[in-house]
Structure 1
């Protein structure tokens, strides 16, 4: 940090603003968290609410800019290229604390909203030193991602999550499954509300371009918890039976090269195409052109991309796990199969291949569900109501003004 605060000079906000802390924010997109924070913040701004986002610096991006009404502040940790991830996180939090302290001398911040453990140290420090209420959204837990705590790093992250949820005035999670998980792992998180992720529904008016011999589509980080091995096993059976099956799988991650090698060695290159990282525009093109979308996750707190598929009126085939099973209602808005069960996935894929009309009906039902329950306008209002409730509680208790 240069020590110079870059904000619009002379502007005083009549209403208090929220300061959102998130280590990733577009164009830095690692997972669903980045898009969630962006869409929530921009929806707040559209409604005339003051919102600042404090995030990590992205190469080529300005340290401060105002986009779609959202004031974005990007800071470097002291050692931006630190190889030790946990040390990098500590450095980033120190930079957040320093910058936020300067920001609050110019802006009327009345509430903090932290997203996941990476920004937890800064959020807890600002809450205690500035006497501000703190809301935290937990998007996933280290225990859930790894089916337990097995390493020292995982233990450290788990402890950071525990401290953050304990010190928050209110915790937000995206599904009933996640609420149960958080309450079991962190009993001190007494106030916990379920507010689902939202989805951009503008895609619903775009033309459908799929056809009877189209491909299936899947997208996610190339990590074991996303379950892409199940698709590989299903494709192998399709090949044995000489069925005309193809799937495009998008995303980056540590297992991408391994998956590509395994597909090649199994002779499945003509069926499975791992295309790597794609832009939002490319993702939308793949969604429009596919016949159905596959989500074979072993662990999925919510499943935002399943909602994006529904926004395109696409049929969804998903693992019967986590938040996915709350979005996808079997034989109503899509099809469910048991996680890691390639035979079950094979059977559900065949149903789609053999009955396009039924699949399209389920796709339309999914769009109706997304439209009624998961618009960003609705999600933002539910979130802002929690802000107001927590602000009121703080004022009653003689805390934040």
Structure 2
């Protein structure tokens, strides 16, 4: 735990579409929401006053949510107070910018440090910087230039997104990449210009990793001898759930006695979860996996910790993942991970040490990797211990906050120097004009 021994000042984290206060697992709620919330709370423990700005999506939502001393979520109205998908949000961003300035004026507050998250928020941050002196930091969370390579249908907003992502990298004060792989992608696919720091995402190593497997299974009413394969996350075609389901449906996995596939995330049981959940359920039925598959619906963090602990393996089959919080949450729980060999997953998951990697969309490779782990308890436990060790040494939220704290303080120092240098230049200019006027008069 970090000690709040100094008042660092105020900082704004902007996450337009990823509400830090929303329940994880709802539509448009995933790793980015966790990142912003956990970073905000950890920064508050270092002494920052952290305000996290997001868009209000319902009149019933509180305008301000207090999370802990020094950290709160502030919901601004931009467009109708209803859910709007990411690809439709851009037209509402100017209103979000104006709402941000109104909040500053009404609360008599100026944020010298602004950290934006996702490309939509980067546009907001760059517009704010046009009107006030500020140091601007950005975390992409995903890159359109990489994401669109994995998609067959490219949204109409793609051209705008790619242009803004390039402008962001080349002009903001600092970009935070969450893995060396993401940094490479920025340089290869976005721009050679701009300043990049690599600071990983983190996880709560106290919440995840303190539950015994047998106790977790008893709590969740799961069989002690079951072979449990877990997916955790939202329903989205890019998350590759179909690959996992088809892998479990292959004979090398399916023939294991007491095989159990648990798909955790999305809505509460009994609530609709959109087209992707319906599609995945139809594939489960097609492969005759209904009897061994459980859809848990949305889980809170304590429930999710139980499922991570209970699982033999956690599978992250994403087509693209700049970091992958689920991977390190599972690893923190001592559960090995089978993940797609893409993006930040190549950084978080170390093959043969913390889990295994497989080519994305390759159900045969995923089946082989899953089978290697669930068929050998000794290997499973060895990889699980290695996974926990890696998270402890690399991916705690307080460790992430300490690295961001250093970055913010260095940029704040630059800002002060620029401000006072600007004031000196203004004084000199005023003095020169006065002398010039005096000479003309004489």
How far 1:86 sits from its partner (Å)?
A: 5.3
Tell me if 1:135 matches 2:137. yes
Cα 1:106–1:268 shift into 2, 3 Å: same
Cα 1:72–1:100 shift into 2, 3 Å: farther
How far 1:240 sits from its partner (Å)?
A: 9.2
**Alpha-carbon distance in structure 2 between the residues aligned to 1:124 and 1:241:** 51
Q: Say if 2:138 and 2:174, in contact at 8 Å, map to a contact too.
A: yes
Q: Which residue of 2 aligns with 1:5?
A: none
Matching of residues 2-13 of structure 1 within 5 Å: none
Unaligned runs of 5+ in 1: 1-12
Tell me which moved more, 141-150 or 108-117: 141-150
How far 1:109 sits from its partner (Å)?
A: 2.0
How far 1:91 sits from its partner (Å)?
A: 2.1
Q: Which residue of 1 aligns with 2:200?
A: 196
Q: Which residue of 2 aligns with 1:35?
A: 34
Tell me if 1:285 matches 2:285. no
Cα 1:171–1:84 shift into 2, 3 Å: closer
Tell me if 1:22 matches 2:18. no
How far 1:393 sits from its partner (Å)?
A: 2.8
Q: Which residue of 2 aligns with 1:261?
A: 282
Count of matched residue positions in the alignment of Structure 1 and Structure 2: 389
Structure of larger gyration radius: 2
**Alpha-carbon distance in structure 1 between the residues aligned to 2:422 and 2:136:** 11
Matching of residues 8-87 of structure 1 within 5 Å: 15-23=8-16, 24-27=19-22, 29=24, 30-59=29-58, 60-69=60-69, 70-81=71-82
Q: Which residue of 2 aligns with 1:248?
A: 262
Cα 1:242–1:144 shift into 2, 3 Å: same
Normalising by structure 2, we get a TM-score of: 0.81
Cα 1:400–1:118 shift into 2, 3 Å: farther
How far 1:171 sits from its partner (Å)?
A: 0.4
**Alpha-carbon distance in structure 1 between the residues aligned to 2:328 and 2:148:** 24
Normalising by structure 1, we get a TM-score of: 0.89
Counterpart secondary structure, 1:302: coil
**Alpha-carbon distance in structure 2 between the residues aligned to 1:148 and 1:263:** 24
Tell me if 1:146 matches 2:148. yes
How far 1:318 sits from its partner (Å)?
A: 1.5
**Alpha-carbon distance in structure 2 between the residues aligned to 1:341 and 1:84:** 29
Counterpart secondary structure, 1:246: strand
Q: Say if 1:166 and 1:186, in contact at 8 Å, map to a contact too.
A: no
Q: Which runs of 4+ in 1 moved over 6 A?
A: none
CA RMSD of aligned residues (A): 2.6
Unaligned runs of 5+ in 2: 1-5, 218-223, 267-273, 424-442
How far 1:239 sits from its partner (Å)?
A: 7.8
Q: Say if 1:97 and 1:126, in contact at 8 Å, map to a contact too.
A: no
Cα 1:93–1:73 shift into 2, 3 Å: farther
How far 1:194 sits from its partner (Å)?
A: 0.9
Q: Say if 1:293 and 1:317, in contact at 8 Å, map to a contact too.
A: yes
Cα 1:153–1:343 shift into 2, 3 Å: same
Cα 1:340–1:95 shift into 2, 3 Å: closer
Tell me which moved more, 129-138 or 27-36: 27-36
Query: Which of 360, 372, 382 pairs up with 1:351?
Result: 372
Tell me which moved more, 273-282 or 225-234: 273-282
